[in-house]
């Protein structure tokens, strides 16, 4: 089993590239953002609680997202591997993920960390907000709050995995195809080892 974390700030291209990578490598795509938005669209209690938090640009509690990931892992016992997109976003989530994978006798193979400047992130997210209907992409204030939350709580996740020598930095600016090639070359290197 080969498991990948696609890591980076909001708007760095995680969702965009994940869609292509899961198709290319036959992995199961686990996006906590997508799982939360599905709860919101089904108007579940969890979704209603999460929506208020997401609309402020803040992170949903660790226990909520870890529970969603644990259940998704259990539902895919035959997976060739998982692509984690937007998860883990805190060190506590990273530790929980390591434990869950350890119980399944597997681990993270690589953390691909996308590097994009703040002005490009803001531009991309506000641009997506014009058509996506996502309330967290609509206002510059909320978009910037998400980036602040990333620096406060999420960027340390890369340091956590650096200790295990698992992080590779990827230039996340350029065309979607150019960035995909960079990501695939890092994955292929590890798969051939």
Q: Which residues bind ligand B4P (CB under 6 A)?
A: 10-16, 32-33, 36, 53-54, 57, 59-60, 65, 86-87, 89, 93, 124-125, 127-128, 136, 146, 176, 179
Nearer to ligand B4P, 9 or 187 (CB): 9
Quick one: which of 124, 137, 116 has its CA closest to 37? 137
Nearer to ligand B4P, 181 or 191 (CB): 181
Interior/surface letters 87-97, b for 16+ CB within 10 angstroms, e for the rest: bbbbeebbebb
Q: Where are the beta strands (DSSP E) in 51-151?
A: 82-85, 108-115
- Least distance (Å) between residue 4 CB and ligand B4P: 14
The residue number with the shortest CB distance to ligand B4P is: 33
Say how far apart CA 82 and CA 70 lie, in whole Å.
12
Nearer to ligand B4P, 146 or 166 (CB): 146
Nearer to ligand B4P, 87 or 160 (CB): 87
- Least distance (Å) between residue 14 CB and ligand B4P: 4
Quick one: which of 61, 64, 76, 63 has its CA closest to 30? 76
- Least distance (Å) between residue 164 CB and ligand B4P: 19
Quick one: which of 121, 119, 112 has its CA closest to 170? 112
């Amino acid at each position: 089993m080969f498991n990948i974390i696609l890591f980076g700030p909001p708007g760095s291209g995680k969702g965009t590239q994940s869609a292509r990578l899961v198709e290319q490598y036959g992995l199961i795509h686990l996006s906590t953002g997508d799982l939360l938005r599905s709860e919101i669209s089904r108007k579940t209690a969890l979704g209603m609680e999460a929506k208020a938090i997401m609309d402020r640009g803040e992170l949903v509690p660790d226990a909520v997202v870890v529970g969603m990931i644990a259940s998704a892992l259990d539902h895919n016992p035959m997976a060739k591997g998982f692509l984690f997109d937007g998860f883990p976003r805190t060190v506590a989530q990273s530790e929980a993920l390591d434990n869950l994978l350890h119980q399944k006798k597997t681990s993270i193979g690589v953390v691909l960390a996308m590097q994009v400047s703040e002005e490009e992130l803001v531009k991309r997210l506000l641009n997506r907000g014009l058509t996506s209907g996502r309330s967290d992409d609509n206002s510059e204030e909320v978009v910037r709050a998400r980036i602040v939350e990333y620096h406060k709580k999420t960027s340390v996740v890369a340091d956590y995995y650096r200790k295990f020598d698992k992080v590779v930095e990827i230039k996340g600016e350029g065309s979607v195809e150019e960035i995909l090639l960079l990501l695939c070359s890092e994955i292929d290197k590890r798969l051939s080892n």
